[in-house]
Structure 1
Amino acid sequence: MTTHTQPLPPETVSAILRDPDSPLYPSQITVFCDHCGHEATRDYMVSTDMTSAERLAVARKHLVDNEGWGHDEEFGDDFCPEHA
């Protein structure tokens, strides 16, 4: 499975949504900082065959790669940029 960490251009999202055979759809996912409770809510393109954990992983990857968030693999904790 390919995950994109950069935002998709609006024309790409529009094309995906118009394609009746596309398994992708937008989903709003919130990640919470386990230290202070700060929330990061964004829209992500996910697919119908992804589990909840895989969808959360898409959000985490984007936040870690692009917005300075931290993630502790061992304990599963997420940290906002202030606490990363």
Structure 2
Amino acid sequence: MKQQLTPETVSAILRDPDSPLYPSQITVFCDHCGVEATGDYMVSEDMTSAQRLGVARKHLVDNEGWEHDEEIGDDFCPEHAAPAPA
């Protein structure tokens, strides 16, 4: 599991004038029920909006039980994600 950034690490990034990273609040919606997952993520200004959304999706898939269907582009909350293979 990927480690979340600690408040101290985020503070150090924000104080570093050469860091390209900054916090951005991103919301992902479940395409089945509409539930929202909103979080603050560290992104950079050279990232596209799709890449920034990818940061949030990766976190939700890796840590929160969400599922992203690459083929159709939909996101599913843990309640509506497909069961994990046995």
Scaled to the shorter chain, the TM-score interval is over 0.9
Partner AA of 1:6 in structure 2: Q
- 1:62 is aligned to 2:59: yes
Structure showing greater Rg: 2
Q: Which residue of 2 aligns with 1:29?
A: 26
Question: Cα distance, 1:6 vs. partner?
Answer: 3.0
How many pairs does the alignment contain? 80
Question: Of the candidates 6, 12, 15, which is equivalent to residue 15 of structure 1?
Answer: 12
Question: Stretches of 4+ moved more than 2 A in 1?
Answer: none
Q: CA RMSD in A?
A: 0.7
Q: TM-score, normalized by length of structure 1?
A: 0.93
Question: Cα distance, 1:43 vs. partner?
Answer: 0.2
Task: Point out where structure 1 has 5 or more consecutive residues left out of the alignment.
Answer: none
Distance 1:80 1:49 in 2: 28
Q: TM-score, normalized by length of structure 2?
A: 0.91
Task: Point out where structure 2 has 5 or more consecutive residues left out of the alignment.
Answer: 82-86
> What is the percent sequence identity of the aligned residues?
88
